[in-house]
Amino acid sequence: SAKSSSDEQAQSRASRSAVFLHGFLGNVLDWMPLMSSASSDRDCYAVSLPGHSSGPFQNVDDGPANSFQTTLASTSNALNALLEESSVGKPILVGYSMGARVALDMVVSSPEKYSGLVIISSSPGIKDSVSREGRAIKDILLSAQIREMGFDSFLELWYQQPLFESFKNSPQFTSIVSSRAKVHTNHGVADALSSLSPGLQDSLWPKMQDLSVPLCLVCGEHDPKYVAISKEMCELAKLSPHLDSAD
């Protein structure tokens, strides 16, 4: 019947759903072009990371048990619980930069909940403890600077970094930065930078060779750092006994 066919199509879309996690300073709207393209045959959802837009951090005592707390692991756990409550099926997780680190942690901690993982320009963390500690201190100091200088001044300073040179030449650069200034607050972004710092995240490199969901790695060809990292991640994932060459 038409009704059963419609139900089957809805179930099929849900079984191929995708959930998108943006990067630092991003928001759910960053994914709209990609979601528009992908939504023809699947349900697509974008989640705002805590500290961004309307997603502030909360202390564990300020809300329900699955409230966002100020660590990457607890954010990962909270998002796992949120998606389970939302009945999105067994989605593919797609994450960029900071969002990809959260997504990888989600998949490693609850692999049975996901059907795939797409990591865009990110890594499984910092390998050695000394470098992690140094990065944590650096991000905590920068977060304090953000609170003091204000968000607009921080954005101007942030995009002076050499890695954003090609982005600054984009015709959309001014409008994108302007929109970010409107949707974020300096305190929220400062919380995100310090609390979701790779310096506070356990290295997930050892977990790559035990990955149990299909993996896709994406990075810019002119970004040698992440080209090298992606190649290393791919080689480790190939060692997983849970995946075959097609994954």
Q: How far apart are CA 235 and CA 233, in angstroms?
A: 6
Average pLDDT score over residue span 55-72: 50
Q: Lowest mean pLDDT: which of 84-88, 111-115, 128-132, 208-212?
A: 84-88
Q: How far apart are CA 72 and CA 100, in angstroms?
A: 11
Q: Is the pLDDT of residue 181 over 90?
A: no
Neighbours of 60 (CB within 10 A): 13
Rounded to the nearest 10°, the torsion over CA 241, 242, 244, 246 is -150
pLDDT at 134: 96
Rg (alpha carbons) of the chain, rounded to whole number: 19
pLDDT at 68: 40
Confidence tier at 111 by pLDDT (50, 70, 90)? very high
Average pLDDT score over residue span 66-87: 77
Write the single-letter amino acid at 54.
Answer: S
**pTM of the complete model:** 0.88
Average pLDDT score over residue span 204-229: 94
Q: Is the pLDDT of residue 4 over 70?
A: no
pLDDT at 14: 53
Q: Is the pLDDT of residue 63 over 50?
A: no
pLDDT at 54: 62
Q: Is the pLDDT of residue 9 over 60?
A: no
**Sheet (strand 44-47) strand order:** 44-47, 18-21, 92-96, 116-120, 215-218
Q: How far apart are CA 42 and CA 91, in angstroms?
A: 10
Q: Is the pLDDT of residue 71 over 90?
A: no
Which tokens hold the place of 121?
């320009």
Closest CA to 97 of 183, 9, 225, 191: 225
CB 238 within 8 A of CB 155: no
Q: Is the pLDDT of residue 62 over 60?
A: no
Share of the chain above pLDDT 90, in %: 58
pLDDT at 64: 43
Confidence tier at 12 by pLDDT (50, 70, 90)? low
Q: Is the pLDDT of residue 154 over 60?
A: yes
Output the average pLDDT for the chain: 87
